[in-house]
Structure 1
């Protein structure tokens, strides 16, 4: 039997708090889940440092990846079946890309990437195309199948419809993480009527569109995303933990470059410090390993590294004040000098952090990130861009919101009156 069409003798199910059950009938999907590269995602948190703000946010990239697969499975096995615009030959490709789309995420994801100038999508492609168990499974379908999966994840695959299932302004990726993150953080913002959205979803040549009768469900989704970003993803306490995490990694890298002799050699980080990261090195690093180093660095001679690790592990986070870099740059310069005078290194203890999000936008040629709009399918068959029909979406369309905060350790500046006055 053709491997891509092979079914399991009995359907496997994962009990899931968001989708109730995740169904696996295909041998290919079951084999991919069993690979060591996919199992590694159990050791990578979906929300990085958010567990220090919302204590329930301990879920993993493994959970989320299964969820995205399940949504795409429902679309390809029910919603799109029999529709002339959908090529059922693309089903297995869509399922594999959905399952593997986050395969290259590293520990604490985006914070880690910024410090070492990495991109998880590059590593996702490297895992899919490299000497890995995942590649071996995909190659059993055909020699060029891993390349097709990588192209879907990279958004360069010839069928834009397939790409849009996991990468668009309303896709399976976002539909899963909004609901999953809302569930595990305990907030009410991220919930929307996914069942209704799936019912009004229709395939078109280059993207998924939505029947006009389901516009309110799509509006609800857009607003859920907007609220989740500002109430959860950009929560200032979470950002404070990210600032400290980032500074730990910067400090460790700086010490290595200065020839500092670590009591416990950070073998897992050497290739990252040298910016010569191999796929093998990358896959060895997960959040358990990173936490181990943070624990043993509590015994290091370097005061800054030791202090930052203690803050992260014991949740002694930085305080913050609202800050406008454009208007208050002189204040920042003065604070930096006062910190230095007080013996507090501003490089690690005085940090401006910015958050920015564009909740919905339509296609604007030439921009760095060109966003395909969400289209509504009208009763007469015409396609209309969402914000042209929805006053709610129009009110936030194209409006980027940016927030700046200044982070500092309240315990270290206590007693320094001039500093405290400026920070009040």
Structure 2
């Protein structure tokens, strides 16, 4: 068995959510200090949410440390209840710390345009020629692969996987509490101390004592509220739409041979679809914001307008949209085009959906690991069978559709054209 390699003195991070993050293992300390992990300081946890909640400027570095700390506390509560080797405990801690290391700038908006997925890059960072890989290999040549398997949910120990990826895990617990704290809302708060006290290890994953059911209910409802009140906020989504359009326009201009006044050197691998790991790690949000500052001076009117909108928070307005009104959308696109407003960049339907809780149903494509309650008799019962609150929302996916457009451009049109468009968009005269 690998012997513990502890620091001479425990390192402590002050944290506004967990008060302290404790680091005892030298391996963890070295991972935190790796350039690949430090890069997460320059990537926001909540993407464009800072436009809506000005406090939401925290980074994925903050969040990753928080997930690690929750995992450390979970492992402490499991002492005496399950036998995990030192190497297995370290595997859990490393997976918790590194689960988001592959995220890029403005994560999801960037991914949608350039067709990359952060989980693929997480795997590449863990297994590629990186300092993180070299640090992990101190535990054995196969250790980086095992950490990657835990994060990818393919590791053979279901308990370890469920600690980092299930419907109630270290990742979700931290981001709900952390995002609520930094955005200044109360929706994401739940009794984490109670959750940890009633959590129990089991062969099929973590389970919860029946006596703690109400704390689990509280967590489920906190997650539900955070998604609809914070993560899916329509203003945040407006900023995401503008951001995607910026990337889309830059990509189109490059493909057409446009000569940028400020050549986007660090973006060229993405624009040419020839990205290696070094290219990816060179990119963070400070780089993207720098190019936006340069692009707002470009000769292309659409690119400069979109960049100015993002940097100055002059975002698109939104109205409710019924997906059945597809013909109306096509007519609006034609009318925008006729009015000199390019609908490809200035008219966008954005869709969000969330499934707050579900459990596996035979025959369905996506298996969802249910939350199981440990009854006093020792029997395991799925949560929604005992909780009327959870039963009411189980399996119910909620959708929301918004149509985004620049109101200032519509208002700048001749009155007859502007009035007709506003009427079509369902916008009041004094909007």
Measured against the shorter chain, the TM-score band is: over 0.9
Q: Which residue of 1 aligns with 2:6?
A: 7
1:199-238 map, 5 Å: 199-238=197-236
Q: Give the alignment partner of residue 93 of structure 1, picking from 77, 91, 104.
A: 91
1:101-143: per-residue Cα shift (whole Å, max 9, x none)? Answer: 0000000001111111101000001000000000010001111
Offset, 1:181 = 0.1
Offset, 1:367 = 3.1
Q: Give the alignment partner of residue 264 of structure 1, picking from 262, 265, 271.
A: 262
1:153-195: per-residue Cα shift (whole Å, max 9, x none)? Answer: 1110110110111100000000000000000000010000000
Instruction: Point out the more displaced range, 328-337 or 281-290.
Output: 328-337
Q: Which residue of 2 aligns with 1:174?
A: 172
1:19-70: per-residue Cα shift (whole Å, max 9, x none)? Answer: 0000001111001001000000000000000000000000000000000000
CA RMSD, 1 decimal: 1.1
Residues 352 and 406 in structure 1, CA contact (< 8 A), matched pair in contact too: yes
Mapped partners of 2:296, 2:201: distance in 1: 55
Secondary structure, counterpart of 1:102 in structure 2: coil
Mapped partners of 1:353, 1:144: distance in 2: 42
Q: Which residue of 2 aligns with 1:287?
A: 285
Offset, 1:273 = 1.4
1:303-382 map, 5 Å: 303-326=301-324, 328-382=325-379
Mapped partners of 1:58, 1:36: distance in 2: 21
1:51 aligns with 2:50: yes
Mapped partners of 2:396, 2:65: distance in 1: 33
Q: Which residue of 2 aligns with 1:418?
A: 420
Structure 2 spans left out of the alignment, 5+ residues: 427-431
Residues 359 and 369 in structure 2, CA contact (< 8 A), matched pair in contact too: yes
Secondary structure, counterpart of 1:55 in structure 2: coil
Q: Which residue of 2 aligns with 1:393?
A: 390
Q: Which residue of 2 aligns with 1:83?
A: 81
Mapped partners of 2:297, 2:72: distance in 1: 49
Residues 85 and 203 in structure 1, CA contact (< 8 A), matched pair in contact too: no
Mapped partners of 1:209, 1:303: distance in 2: 56
Going from structure 1 to structure 2, the CA distance change for 1:141 and 1:345 (only over 3 Å counts) comes to same
Residues 4 and 86 in structure 2, CA contact (< 8 A), matched pair in contact too: no
Mapped partners of 1:307, 1:313: distance in 2: 10
Secondary structure, counterpart of 2:79 in structure 1: coil
Offset, 1:325 = 1.3
Secondary structure, counterpart of 1:395 in structure 2: helix
Mapped partners of 1:277, 1:342: distance in 2: 39
Offset, 1:205 = 0.8
Offset, 1:235 = 0.0
Offset, 1:216 = 0.2
Secondary structure, counterpart of 2:296 in structure 1: helix
Offset, 1:364 = 2.1
Offset, 1:365 = 3.5
Going from structure 1 to structure 2, the CA distance change for 1:85 and 1:6 (only over 3 Å counts) comes to closer
Mapped partners of 2:159, 2:298: distance in 1: 53
Mapped partners of 1:130, 1:364: distance in 2: 37
Secondary structure, counterpart of 2:313 in structure 1: coil
Going from structure 1 to structure 2, the CA distance change for 1:366 and 1:272 (only over 3 Å counts) comes to farther
Offset, 1:87 = 5.1
Q: How many residue pairs end up in the alignment?
A: 421
Mapped partners of 1:85, 1:230: distance in 2: 40
Offset, 1:88 = 5.2
